[in-house]
Amino acid sequence: MRSSVTLAKKYLSIAPAIPPKYWTEAAPLERARMEYEDEKAGGFLKWFPKLALEGKEIFDIGCGYGGRTVRFAELGAKRAVGLEPSHKTCWEGKIFAAEKGVPNTEFVVGYGEQLPFSADSFDIVTSYDVFEHVADLGCVLDECLRILRPGGSLYAVFPPFFHPTGAHLESWISRMPWPHVLFNCETLMKAINAILAERNDSFAPMPLRRNDRLWGLNRVTIRSFRALLRERHFSHIDFKLSPLFSHMNSKWEGWRMKYYAFVFWPLRSVPVLRELFVHRIMVTLVK
């Protein structure tokens, strides 16, 4: 075990990363504005270009600091409600909505496994890079189904666990790809804790939850997510896999992916390999 931890440390140290200042020293409303500007540039809605928000009551699960939720309201939603487990992020969402002059927004503290809403409350549920983080995705899907009105839809985008950066380490410890494929989670966490101890900059990841395989991650794969969907009764399921190298990837231009992306596109259809070469799972679920 000691040798594998040493090897993991060396691998992670090839391309080290440190937390950005907007994590450690965020200015008031900075994160909300970043989310808002990202959504103005396409953000979540670029994945669902036919999604119409006008006149709809929308629930944004895992809304972050509220910038995206506010943008949904600006785009014509009758009501946009964001949910996060943090009081701080919800408070910033409320302040940002007031700053933008958008009254038809709400921010609620809570967890996806026990949503504080009555049945049949919303027309649309949105989820952007959230499903990989929730503690119990099956329970979250059940709750989303419960609060949707008949005919309402859940739109979700998220990376499968074995995505190259699916361990979510690229912003704070290492930019090396697939560390959680090359090393088991126990080894990886020991290596990361050793690096953090040596770095000694006071940064620490969120505490591990009971079912976490890595910090804040539930290890949902393409295969396990499909199994969860089969166990539930949606009237319609639209399930798509976005290739690792495609125009939907933010690095499309910077990495000149257009010259080699097509070589990897077939891999999204190959069992097992697709877990490593899918950029995002995109799903529309109709109640």
Q: What is the pLDDT of residue 93?
A: 98
Which residues of the chain fall below pLDDT 50? none
Measured between alpha carbons, how far is 254 from 239 in angstroms, rounded to an integer?
28
Per-residue CA distances from 76 to 16, 39, 43, 104 (Å): 42, 14, 16, 10
- Please state, in angstroms and rounded to a whole number, the distance separating the CA atoms of residues 271 and 165: 19
Please state, in angstroms and as integers, the Cα–Cα distance from residue 155 to each residue in 10, 51, 123, following that order: 39, 9, 11
pTM, two decimals, is: 0.96
For the chain, list the strands marked E by DSSP.
Answer: 57-61, 79-84, 105-109, 122-128, 148-158, 236-243, 278-286
Spatial distance between the Cα atoms of 207 and 217, rounded to a whole number of angstroms:
11
Residue ranges per structural domain of the chain: 21-163+216-286
User: Of the candidates 31, 29, 68, 63, which has an alpha carbon nearest to the alpha carbon of residue 46?
Assistant: 68
pLDDT of residue 21: 94
Residue 164, pLDDT score = 97
CB hemisphere CA count around 256 (13 angstroms)? 1
Q: 239 and 157 in contact (C-beta within 8 Å)? A: no
CATH superfamily of 21-163+216-286: Vaccinia Virus protein VP39 (3.40.50.150)
Greatest alpha-carbon pair distance for the chain in Å reads: 59
How far apart CA 100 and CA 92 sit, in angstroms, is: 12
Model confidence pLDDT, tens digit, residues 205-232: 999 998 899 999 999 999 999 999 999 9
CA dihedral (125, 127, 131, 134) positive or negative: negative
